[in-house]
Structure 1
């Protein structure tokens, strides 16, 4: 990669929040080293360096235009994003999670989407890569395909703002920082996407930016914990913006809705984790439709339980 002087501003800045990413970051850096454009920089924000990830970034910096910001302690993903975007020098700001595997035209494609308009938000969906677990076979892979189909058919595209997105510096500064009230897992992205569309930007899904994502939720138990945290974070969003953003939740008087509500009222995070561990041990012995339904029950119940029991959420995730 060609060298750039320290005073020359790159076209694009990638902001990469990371915690415990010592095994993920080398794969990301390998992909970034194959980019078709060299006009970029990357800022890795280590949200507490718990595994010597800073050394991985320092080693990569010998070959790539990457640098790190290291927090002394865990401050949350919103704080990490804000620090990274504050330090970014590029005109196009790309949020890139540390478990992505970008294609060679990743940076160039993000840049190209901003050449005709500065007031646009660009979303590249994940293509989740799963190890061959019972959860992946019963639920994860099928749900991943349906998620992308639903996203491309949706009108409220801002809801899909996540870890593979970009805006211009001008737009970012006008929308403002990520909200640090979202301290644990989830919804800081949805919140920012909502604020982006309120600002008046067009929020688009770019199919050419679908990117491989080595997903962390590889078991039902991990997926349950994330759903619970996400449910709790949804309360923060509703408290800030109001429930009318999504429309009122229609009561489900059918047997499935009653099952979800009863489970969520009765079970907190520890009970749902125990159910999920049992599910992971038995999914492969169940008919595929029944296994998928069992995971769906636990995921939906966990999200609803998180809304009901937000005090059980730990910030250190």
Structure 2
């Protein structure tokens, strides 16, 4: 098995370094003949390409591909196009993996291929969220790290031929969100089976919540709403409605949980500040998700109304 790890990146140089160092430390299993790491720089302005070229000796498995800023869907497609391997592993550039990461994916894939008699499956590893930049792998697994997504590109491995049959990622998803889950819907309809692989652990680093992040988080909810409608237009099913929260049940839920908007990013600000100052930024983020979900669902319904969708 030749494994190609495909990583799109945009202005993530500090955490990308930790990501790539972890991939250089892989203890590969007998199933893996060799592996490469295809980094697709999506028009970074923080010097990432020059830094990677200058650090080539530290990262012998890495190949750098560059593109103008076009989003992660385009970046992943470009990475697959340039990949030499027969198996593609997708991770994000802010994910730091364990030393056995690739071997766990490979072993699980081979067992599944042999049991099925074909390659119509993919392995889905565990993602642990952390704000610990110095030692991301020290984070413990938490209940809120569980994901119910069918296909999420933070940590998956799949045969390249299966990806190509599915049609890769839709580059119409140029803003934040849903491009991987949309591909997942096509894979699911092809009969491609999800294989849980909890031993393939990646630690997803993102900075602890600060109050000045809130405007961008609200902006992201608007982008998710717009891309959610792109997703729904392609797959106008009840299942996708629930995935993107485009139901009256979700709208009622978030209105009730925020008391019709009385609990919002402004009214929560003093409590959020207190939690952050006392080292509870994770709790603050979970609390902030209440108004963020309401904002996102309202934006989705507004976009749908403007587009004439119900």
Residue number in structure 1 paired with 2:238 = 244
Cα RMSD of the aligned pairs, angstroms, is: 3.4
Residues 183-219 of structure 1: per-residue CA shift (max 9 Å, x gap): 1111111111121111111012211012111125734
Deviation at 1:297, TM superposition (A): 2.2
If each structure's strand is expressed as a fraction of its own residues, which one has the higher value?
2
Pick closer, same or farther for the CA change 1:282–1:104 going to 2, 3 Å.
same
**Aligned mate of 1:21, from 12, 24, 27:** 12
**Residue 41 of structure 2 contacts residue 64 of structure 2 at CA under 8 Å; is this kept in 1?**
yes
Residues 245-300 of structure 1: per-residue CA shift (max 9 Å, x gap): 2466253697853465954xx9xxxxx776676664244589x9x96774232221
Matched, 1:122 2:117: no
**Residue 127 of structure 2 contacts residue 204 of structure 2 at CA under 8 Å; is this kept in 1?**
yes
**Residue 98 of structure 2 contacts residue 201 of structure 2 at CA under 8 Å; is this kept in 1?**
no
Residue number in structure 1 paired with 2:175 = 184
Matched, 1:281 2:273: yes
Pick closer, same or farther for the CA change 1:274–1:46 going to 2, 3 Å.
farther
Deviation at 1:15, TM superposition (A): 0.5
Tell me the secondary structure at the aligned position of residue 52 of structure 2: helix
Matched, 1:175 2:166: yes
TM-score normalised to structure 2 length: 0.77
**Residue 92 of structure 1 contacts residue 167 of structure 1 at CA under 8 Å; is this kept in 2?**
yes
**Residue 5 of structure 2 contacts residue 35 of structure 2 at CA under 8 Å; is this kept in 1?**
yes
- Unaligned runs of 5+ residues in structure 1 are 1-9, 133-140, 267-271, 312-317
**Residue 225 of structure 1 contacts residue 302 of structure 1 at CA under 8 Å; is this kept in 2?**
no
**Residue 29 of structure 1 contacts residue 60 of structure 1 at CA under 8 Å; is this kept in 2?**
no
Residue number in structure 1 paired with 2:142 = 145
Tell me the secondary structure at the aligned position of residue 124 of structure 1: strand
Pick closer, same or farther for the CA change 1:245–1:115 going to 2, 3 Å.
same
Matched, 1:70 2:62: no
Residue number in structure 2 paired with 1:96 = 91
**Matches of 1:191 and 1:253, distance apart in 2:** 22
Deviation at 1:76, TM superposition (A): 0.9
Which has the larger displacement, 80-89 or 233-242?
233-242
Residue number in structure 2 paired with 1:232 = 226
Pick closer, same or farther for the CA change 1:261–1:19 going to 2, 3 Å.
farther
Residues 146-169 of structure 1: per-residue CA shift (max 9 Å, x gap): 3344x4xx5xx51x5231111001
Tell me the secondary structure at the aligned position of residue 99 of structure 2: coil
Pick closer, same or farther for the CA change 1:304–1:195 going to 2, 3 Å.
same
Pick closer, same or farther for the CA change 1:291–1:80 going to 2, 3 Å.
closer
Deviation at 1:43, TM superposition (A): 0.9
Deviation at 1:126, TM superposition (A): 1.2
